[in-house]
Amino acid sequence: MHWYVYLLNFLAGLFLANGVPHFVQGISGNPFPTPFAKPPGVGDSSPVTNVLWGLGNLAVGGLLLTCFWQFRYPLSLGSFAVDAGVVPMSVMLAWHFGKVRKGR
């Protein structure tokens, strides 16, 4: 597999991990920070904005996986690349939004 496929799998993991909290908070009716808030990433956006932002991230992540993920059973280096994208994004989001929520 070419090196850029691993990079695209990693990016898919980033998008998928970022889409989950926005989508979940949005469908729960909770305001949550997005890049569109004032200030960006700190202020809250509406639940509808979060649903749309979450779905957009999930769509991009899913599209990248659909186009570039070469699944091999049981595990492949490509699946580890997706995980490598999910883990840092998840930890970064937990750290950032934990700080934002604590500051209120």
Cβ proximity of 93 and 17 under 8 Å: yes
One-letter amino acid at 3 equals: W
Cβ proximity of 9 and 69 under 8 Å: yes
Mean pLDDT on 3-18: 91
For residue 35, is pLDDT > 70? Answer: yes
pLDDT-based confidence at 71, cuts 50/70/90?
low
What pLDDT digit, counting tens, does each position of 79-91 carry? 777 777 888 888 7
Tell me which residue range forms the domain holding 16: 3-102
Rounded mean pLDDT of the chain?
86
pTM of the model: 0.76
Burial readout 11-35 (b: 16 or more C-beta within 10 A, e: otherwise): bbbbbbbbbbbbbebbeeeeebbbe
The domain tally of the chain equals 1
